[in-house]
Each structure stands twice: as structure tokens, then as C-alpha cells.
Homo-oligomer: A and B are copies of this chain.
Amino acid sequence: MIKGNMLVVHGGGPTAVINSSLYGVITEAKKNDKIDKIYGAIGGSEAILKENFLDLGKTDEERLKLLLQTPGTAIGSSRFELWQDDYDQMVEIFKRNNIKYVLFNGGNGSMDTCGKVSKVCKDHDIYVVGIPKTIDNDLSIIDHAPGYGSAAKYIATVTAEVGADVKSLPIHVCVIEAMGRNAGWITAASALARRKQGDAPHLIYLPERPFNEDEFLEDVKKLYDELGGVVVVVSEGLKNKDGESIVPPIFKTERATYYGDVSSHLANLVIRKLGIKARSEKPGICGRASIALQSEVDREEAVLVGQEAVRAAVAGETGVMVGISRRPGDEYGIETFLVPIEEVMMHEREIPEDYINERGNDVTGEFVKWCKPLIGGELNEFISFKDEIEEETKA
């Protein structure tokens, strides 16, 4: 048997566990006698065309373990746009480097690339497999994507912590902005911060529902009068009923229109229209880079899909992505399966209607039940003497 080389490529924005999948890929490939060298494309799909490959197999086990605690992507990434010519060229590059197995790790964009590469490689004995990754959780068909659980744990933890802070000194409305421009999965996960009635987040706004400014102000006013401190979590991509960003454009360049931040826009609205003190927090990419708030479940699943992708490619599968499905029953458990890339590409995954409440300012218990296992355990317990005295007073 002639051994072939494997190439692994990362695409799009990083997650807290994309390097964990890379760990799964390298360690699994090292064990497989059909694989000779394990190349990393250093700098995304652009690096394939430049043949910018590094032999990752030489790295010892101890250093490889650092991948589990390294944010970003250790082999780089890109948002490089590919054309048909590029794909055709890739076949030659793979052959020249004796690459028989190609793994693409990424979201919808990378899976599109993965599908196209698998097509040009079809008659050349080169096997191309996708590894799912997205904090946004907008990959369809699968139950959830690696990267999402950690982003969910991050926003839930931060919301609980900011909630405790705001409750201590309840003088303002605090608007936290979560990533996820078109899908509200991350924003929704802030609901996992709640332990009891009255806990933050007090309001949650997702991009799946048109944002109604009047209702927002009404809800904030009511909660402020009741609680003093109000915590609102919003998606960075909130749109009005006409599908336009709720933030007016600040300026335009030839290439793009720039909007301000949704969180500071809404905080300013609260100050101006309600005369209530307000502030905004926008952790932004801190939320996809936090290792301290990585979900253990997410990390383990990320390693697993990396391993499975290697096994699938070596078994002769191509044009497929490793998917995650949830086992039925109350106890959380997953299985992996292979899904044809074309099926993944059919639609972006938004939050289903029954996960959003009627007024569109919160999620439902169904969502919480679905999401909870993904963050891997309970959040820190807090103590509040302030709550105790308030409960005594009420009793």
C-alpha cells in the first residue's frame, strides 16, 4: 500500500475550539498507517494555491495539547474568494504533493468550498471531507456545530456576571451585544444565565424577529421601575420590520456601509427617550476567543469531529461533512454521521419559531432545554445577601 498525505485547511473566523478539531485531526492521522505526512495549509484556502504547507505531524504530543487551549486558528485562516480556475489548479497541486485526503474546517462558506473541491477531485482518487465549525450555529441539518457551545457558555457566563454587577448597584440599564448577525443562537444562550425569577437577562432580542423600538422602550421602562437595574442582551444584527439595520449608517465607503453598534445605539435610545441611565458592553470577538469559558462538551465534540473526518476520508468518503446528531432521550448524548455537502448548503439555520416567545423579547423553555447540555455543566453559583433581605421583606 502506498501512503498518501493529508491536508487540513481552516476557513472563516475562528472559534474557541477550532484548534481542538485540529488536535483531533492530527492525533488521529498520526495513528493511521494510510497517512504519511499531515500538512496544514497555513493561511486558509489561499494557502493551497500558494502551496504554503507545513508538516504538522512532526510536533510532539505535549505541544499538540496546547491546541486545546489556543484561541484563533493555529494554522491561520482566510476569507479568500476562489474561482473555477483555482479549483482546477488545486487538483494539480494535490497530486504534486501526493495529497490524497483533504479536510476543510469551517462554516457555510468553507463547506461551499469543500463541495466544489470534492467535485474537481472526484476522478483523481482524492477524498475531501468537511469538519463543521461556527460560533453562529447556522449550519443546517446538524443538531449544533462545534464552536457554538463555547460561544453559548461565554454569553451565559458574562450575562450572569454582569447581572450580579448591575444588581449590586441598580442604577442603570445595561445592553450587552452578542455576535451572530443573521442567526440569534448565541444571543439566545444568554438565557442560560438565569437561576431564579428576576435574574438577568431581563430581555433578549434576536435577529429572527423584526425589532420594535416602541415595545422595547415600553418593556425596559416597566422592568426598570420594578428592578432598578435591567440587563438586555441583543444580537449585533437586529433589523427593523423592513429588514434594515436598526442603527442608521454612520458612513459609506466604496466597498461597504458602516453602522454603529446595536448595543450603544439602544443604550443611547434608553437615555434619550426614557431619561434612564444606560450603558453598553460589546465583548465582540472576546466571546469566540475565551479559553477560560470554553465549554468542555464543545471541546470534546470538536476533537471528535476532527477524528471522524480523518476516518471518513481514509475510508474513501468524499463530498461529505461530519455531522452531529443528538441521541433521543433525556440524557444528553451525540452521534456523528456523514451528510452530503449539498444538503448542508441548502439553507442557513435560523432559530425556530417555538424557541422564541410571543412578544419576541425572550426565548422559551424549549430553547433552554435544548441549549443547556452544550455549555457543559452548571455556571458558578453566586451568593447575594441583598436578595436574601429582599426575599425576607416580601415574605
A118 touches B (CB below 8 Å)? no
| A385 near B162: Cβ-Cβ < 8 Å | no
- Selected interface stretch from A63-71, A91-99, A209-217: A63-71
- Selected interface stretch from A75-83, A309-317, A362-370: A75-83
| B66 near A383: Cβ-Cβ < 8 Å | yes
Query: Within the complex, what minimum Cβ distance (angstroms) separates A86 from chain B?
Result: 19
| B261 near A261: Cβ-Cβ < 8 Å | yes
| B285 near A286: Cβ-Cβ < 8 Å | no
- Selected interface stretch from A122-130, A167-175, A331-339: A167-175
A386 touches B (CB below 8 Å)? yes
A109 touches B (CB below 8 Å)? no
Query: Which residue, A42, A52, A286, has most C-beta atoms of chain B within 10 A?
Result: A286
**Which residues in A have some Cβ–Cβ distance to B below 8 Å?**
10, 12-14, 19, 40, 42-44, 52, 54, 56, 59, 63-64, 66-67, 69-79, 157-158, 161-162, 164-169, 171, 174, 250-251, 253, 258, 260-261, 264, 268, 271-272, 275, 279-286, 288-293, 380-386, 388-389
Contacts A174-B285, A290-B292 supplied; 18 other A-B pairs, CB < 8 Å: A14-B168, A19-B383, A54-B385, A74-B383, A74-B384, A76-B167, A76-B385, A79-B169, A161-B289, A161-B290, A165-B289, A251-B268, A251-B272, A253-B271, A258-B268, A280-B284, A292-B292, A292-B293
